[in-house]
Amino acid sequence: MTLPILAQPPARPPAERPDGDYLLAPFVAQVAPAHRELVGMLPVVDVNAAALAGLRAVSPASPPCRRAVAGLMLVDPFLRLRDATLALAEAGVSGVANYPTVQLIDGETARVFDSAGAGVAREIAVLTAFREAGFETVAFAASLDTARAMLRHGPSRLVLHPGLALADWRERAAASLAVAHMIPALRDQCDTQLLVYRPHGFGPELDQAEALADGRVWVAD
């Protein structure tokens, strides 16, 4: 299966599209392709304001929106769960994803974010709250440990994120290999659909991981 990331609902209803679902993330139209993954690390755009504004412009009777998964920045301290769930329900959206993700921050900075309640633990907690509110959840995970933690909270799909597309091809190859190694390890623990995210800048180095997975996720420009 495929899960394209779109800046707005598609023109054709899902019944006319072979793969149906899509991830709705209006912020991708506001950021250059090479910088999209940085949105989870730097305050360059208000992801959730763009998402909720886009949802308010959508009719709840619109068939394309009923197959949408909303991409939200879940560590945003100003994200009010009640407001978000109402906006999603009014637009007919039934799914939520932690996209963009804060997980690309690592080392000491990641520990600072965690201690401030704006790290991976917060992301998992808010995604779990959406699931408990009745929404389908699509979990992005950038490491094996985080993937396992996400799985404990029952997402319907798990998306493995290779990280930033660094200029050195060897770094991209190593990240892609790490994703490929995660897939068999996770299959032993769950029957959740495993997808591979292909950020801008990654090329054939991700082909092996995609061949092992159940599908792929990418920004459909």
| Tens digits of residue pLDDT in 122-137 | 999 999 999 999 999 9
d(CA 170, CA 168): 5
Helix (H, G, I), strand (E, B) or coil at 141: strand
- 91, 65 in Cβ contact below 8 A? yes
Phi, psi of 216 (to 5 degrees): -135, 160
Which residue type, as a one-letter code, is found at position 21?
D
Residue 118 pLDDT > 80: no
pLDDT confidence tier of residue 17, bands split at 50, 70 and 90? very low
Please give the biggest Cα pair distance in the chain: 48
Summarize pLDDT for 69-95 with one digit per residue, the tens: 999 999 998 899 998 999 898 888 889
Lowest mean pLDDT among 16-20, 69-73, 154-158, 197-201: 16-20
Q: What is the mean pLDDT of residues 12-37?
A: 77
Query: pTM to 2 decimals?
Result: 0.90
Residue 158 pLDDT > 60: yes
